[in-house]
Structures are given as structure tokens and as C-alpha cells.
Amino acid sequence: MILADMHTHSEFSGDSKTPMTAQADRALELGLKYYCFTDHEDLYYPEIIAEDGSVKNIFELDLDAYFKRLTGLKSEYSGKLEVLCGIELGLCDKALSEYEKIVSERPLDFVLGSVHLIDGMDPYSPEYWLYNDEKTAVNRYFVSMLELINKFTDFDSLGHLDYIFRYVLDEAGNPSDKIYAYREYAELIEPILKRVIELDKALEVNTGGYRQGPGTPNPQPQVLKKYFELGGRKITIGSDAH
């Protein structure tokens, strides 16, 4: 039985409109004991035209409001559900020093380190695939991830390691349902797993891959098996709910 969801997003994230209380109430219905909010802090994410017509980074948190709300929520659900104060940091070189400051100064229970941007582009965007063939795109993603976790270690769990496979496009430019073979990218993935183990961090099992992509968790089971073979024992489970 899953007792904790360690990757969720609320109305404080630019890609969610769900109130925190609605999510906490649903967690209680499902019998969860721990519910961690990990709203996006993706500094230097490409700016877009928001619903109000302004140009902004929708994945930059209002940190003061976020932590104030979570402090109140912890008290509100005390004795019923342990609400955890988390954050999902979108790792990129320019933001690392700012993230170190956030982690050191804010009342965080949990930090999820994720890679959403490669060379300033998110694989979620079809634009990323216009500039890269599949092999080049995926290779660059894993190379970037290893570089980043060699530089930044102030996280508790590495988020959705093979996130990029949710968004691979086929030759016609449509979402692909292909499930990749671990052996195709083993030389790039294995050093990441070893680094996670070396740092004594956890590896996230992100069930959002069942909703987006070819219908497997991120990372896929072959990667989890290799992680265990290498000595990895720490995992976190996250729904990536919005």
C-alpha cells in the first residue's frame, strides 16, 4: 500500500489550478498518511504570454505566499494528514546558486530535483524536437542531468529520470508510444544511478508516466532494476498530480 505521495502540484504551480485543500482532502479519501506539495520553482524557464496578457515565467513560485499557505495547511490537517512542505527545483546551470539559497533559507521537508530544460528548451515543447533527432535529444538530456547533479546536491530525490520519453515524437511529428530499451541508453543512465547512490539520495518512481507517454512509470522498470542491482535502495513515489 502506498502511504505517501511525494510529488504533487497545486494552484501555486503554473500548470495547475487545483486548490491545496482539494488535494489534501482527496489524499485523505485514498488513505494516504503523508502528502507532499512540490510546486514548481523553475527559474529561467522560457517566458510565455500568461492568461492575464503579461509575459512571465509561469513556473516561478511566489515563495512567501507558498510557504505561508503550507504552514497554515499543516496546522489545518494536523492529526489527520501529515502535510509536507516540498518543492520541485527545475535544475539548470544559471539557477543553481539561487536554489542553494532557497534550500538553506526556507522551511522545506523535501526537495525534488528535476531536469526540465535542455539548452533552454523543455522536451514537452515540440520545438525541442525540431532542432534534434531522437538520439541526439535523448543523449543531451541524460548528459545534462549527470552534469547538473555533479554540481548541485541539495535535493532529496531525483525526479522522473527518463521524463524526456513522455514527449518523444515519431517521424510524423506525433507523440510516440514506443517504450525505449534501457540498453540503448545504459551507458548514459548508469552513471546517473551511481551518482544518486553515491550521494545517498533517493530515486523517484513517478507514476505520471502512466498518464503521459507510453504507459510506464518514470523511470521505467528496467532502470529501477538496474538501480537495485547497483545497490540503490531509496525510492520515493510521486503521482505528479496537478
Give the span between the Cα atoms of 144 and 92, in whole angstroms: 9
Q: pLDDT 10s digit of each residue in the chain, 242 long?
A: 789 999 999 999 989 999 999 999 999 999 999 999 999 999 999 988 777 777 889 999 999 999 999 999 999 999 999 999 999 999 999 999 999 999 999 999 999 999 999 999 999 998 888 888 889 999 999 999 999 999 999 999 999 999 998 888 665 566 676 677 788 999 999 999 999 999 999 999 999 988 876 788 999 999 999 999 999 999 999 999 99
Tell me how far CA of residue 41 lies from CA of 1, 79, 160, 182, in angstroms. 30, 29, 16, 30
Which helix H or strand E contains 236, and what residues bound it?
A: strand 235-238
**What are 55's strand-pairing partners?**
49
Q: What is the pLDDT of residue 172?
A: 54
Cβ pair 163, 216 in contact under 8 A: no
Pairing of strands 40-41, 34-37: unpaired
Contacts 24+ apart (CB under 8 A), 182-188: 182/220, 182/222, 182/223, 182/226, 185/138, 185/139, 185/142, 186/226, 188/139, 188/142, 188/143, 188/146
Q: What is the pLDDT of residue 177?
A: 67
Q: What is the pLDDT of residue 211?
A: 84
